[in-house]
Structure formats: structure tokens, C-alpha cells
Amino acid sequence: MDSFLIRGGVPLRGTVEISGSKNAALPIMAATLLTSEPCVIHRLPDLSDTRFMVQILQSLGASATLEKGTLRVQARRIKGYADYELVRKMRGSICIAGPLLGRLKRARISLPGGCIIGARPINLHLKGFAALGAAIRIEGGYVEATARKIKGASVFLGGRAGPTVLGTANVMMAAALGEGITVIESAACEPEVMDLAVFLNSMGARIEGAGSPTITIHGVRQLHGAEHEVIPDRIETATFAIAAAATSGDITLRGARAEHLRAVLDKLQEANVAVDRNGSELRVRRRGRLKPVDVTTLPYSGFPTDVQAQMMALLALAPGISIITERIFESRFMHVSELARLGAEIEIEGPSAIVKGGKKLSGAPVMASDLRASAALVIAGLAASGVTQVNRIYHLDRGYEQMDRKLRDLGARIQRVEES
């Protein structure tokens, strides 16, 4: 397994180009299964997850090639079941179920995998499919949904931790080729859901209200091919912004969308970090001494759970006490013990982490437990004195395109160590 070696203490300076959004790309890639006509998707990030999805599309019978950020797909003839080993490795692969059910009226996929950050059941996906008229069966590690026809219905997708993003996407895609009108109540409002709706509408779907808690889908008989550009990755944007603040740096984020990050930018400014917007560029720099802040993760447009770990690394540097409360995933504090190896002082009390910031961080070997925890450890290593080795960075490669190269371009002393 590869690792990163980081020699910290260097302020990051310069400009970084933000890649396309992984969380938007995967459902959009899956949506190409809804038509037999060619589709072209631009600004796809080069990640292990997007490469996995290309393999899944191919295993279903589609012609799919990804080159220099552009995906070309034609799903002329497809089958209703996906390769077990491919699907189980990546949670985002569950989003192929909606297109398969919508187009073929059947879908059989393995229960998906992904990062270990707490329970992420697919019961709301299945609830939505059942409301559309599908019969659901779970057996032998597979989920199977079959329907004689997809019929419009009213579907409530609110869960214990809020709306389901991929569940909203799945029901939206299944209903696009259904009969009648489907209304999703308590729909996820994330920009990634909005981007999927834009793509589906460009294919001929009739979807209204994406980005609000109520989405209305008017079923159509068929969809056609389309061309689309994926939105910028708001989590990558936030990660580099926090890295700038943690290293006392000065970074310009090119191709970012500040409107997708209001909660994060607000907390950065509260922590005494300057954020200046100029069109699609964001300039982020430290004003001076960091200040402690309290953060609670919430569904969009609240503070994203996918930025919680990175923010914790920053607040470990801020003198005073910060409280971070996790309301989305119950096991998303696995990075705390690894940050402690670098000198951070953090205590867990129920769903909250008490960060006693201002301690000097020093390099040490650390182990990444999931995608965003990996990013947090990289940020902490960049701010620490000495050498930090971040192991198991295959997690990072799932969600950040060439992170080590981008950081080196900003002046970071970071290298990838390939292990045989």
C-alpha cells in the first residue's frame, strides 16, 4: 500500500485547479444507462472510484471510455445485474440500481462497500423503489428489485440523519422513465443532486425542484443522449482552503463555487481566515492567530460531514476549545486517535469532539481509516514540524485527484512512497 511522506512547516502558496465532483460524477455516470444513445461527460476526476464506475458500466454491457477527464458512454444493450466484486468495493455503485430499474424494470446488485464511517443502510433506496411498484428481495449478499412497470408515487426519503443523497438520486433516475408523476418529499438538497437533475433534463427528463426538499418527476417514455460538464468538487475545495489556513498559507482556488460552501467558508472566517471571492476563484489566507469555533455537521446547506475531519485538524491548531458535533455518521471520529499521535489534544464525548487547540504538532507515522480522515491527516502533517508518514492512502485516491502533485505545486514537501 502506498503512503505519503510529508515534511511539514511550509506555508502553501499559489493556485490550484479544483477537479470535478466525485459525488456528482458517480450518479451522472450511472444515469447514462437510462438511454441507448451516446452520452459525453466532461470534467470527470481521475480517481479510483470513477475508474471503478467505468468498469461497472462496461460489465453491464455499455461501451465506456474515460480519457483526459472526458467519459464517452453508449449503453446500447445492457444487462440488469452487475459484477459482485466491483460493486461491493464502492458504496457509490448503489446508484446504478435506479437506472437499471427504470430502463429494464429489474436490477440485481451486491450490497455496496466503501469507507467504514458508520451505518449507511440502503433501506431508504429500497423504500423508494417499492413505492414506485418494485418488489424487493435481499438474498446471498444481493439486492434484487423487479417491477412490471414503474408507476409515479409520493415518496418520503427523510432518515434518522436527514435525507439520503444517493437515495434521492436513485429514486429520481428510476422515476424518470416511469408512468405518471413522482414526488420526492424530504429530498436531499445537495448540489450534486441538482447537477444530476440538470443532466437528466438535458437527456429529456422532466424534473422540477431539485435543490429543494420537494422534487417532482414527470415520467417520460424515453431519454436521449446528452453532453454535460460535472460541477467542481466542493469537498476538495474545502480541503485545500483548510490546508491553506492550517499552514499559514495563501492559496487561490480556481474553478470553485463559493455558493456550494457557505457553511464552511463562514466557519473559516469565524476562525480568523480570510476568504475573498473573485468570480470562480477563491483566495484563502490566514489573517493571523486562529480562533476556536464550534461546528455541527448537518445535511446541506449545513456544515458537511465530509469536511468535519479536515476542520478538526485545523482547530487542533487554534488556541482555545472548539467543539465539533457529528450529526450524520456515528463512527466518524476514527481520525481522532491518529491526530493525537501528532500531538493534538481531543476528547470524545458522545457525538461531540472536544478539541483543546493550540498544541504544537510534530510528525509521526499515522494510519488513514477513511477518505476524509486521510485528508485530515495530510493537513495535520503539512502543519506539523518534522516528518509525517500517512499510510493507506488508497482512501485518498478514491476522492482526490493527484492530491500529492497539487500540494507540491503549492510548495508542499510531500512525496508518494510506493510499496511493493
The residues assigned a catalytic role are 115
Type of residue found at 335: H
Helix (H, G, I), strand (E, B) or coil at 315: helix
Question: Cis ω on the peptide bond leading into residue 19 (within 30° of 0)?
Answer: no
The three cell numbers locating residue 386:
518534522
In this structure, are residues 109 and 98 in contact, taking their beta carbons and an 8 Å threshold? no
CA distance 412 to 401: 16
3-state secondary structure (DSSP) of residue 32: helix
Number of H helices, E strands in the chain: 14, 25
- The single-letter code of the amino acid at 191 is P
Instruction: Report yes or no: 25 and 199 within 8 Å, Cβ to Cβ.
Output: no
CB 80 within 8 Å of CB 56: no
Strand order in the sheet with 181-185: 154-156, 181-185, 214-218, 206-208
Residue 124 cell numbers, joined: 431508504
Query: Rounded to an integer, what distance in angstroms lies between the CA atom of residue 52 and that of residue 87?
Result: 8
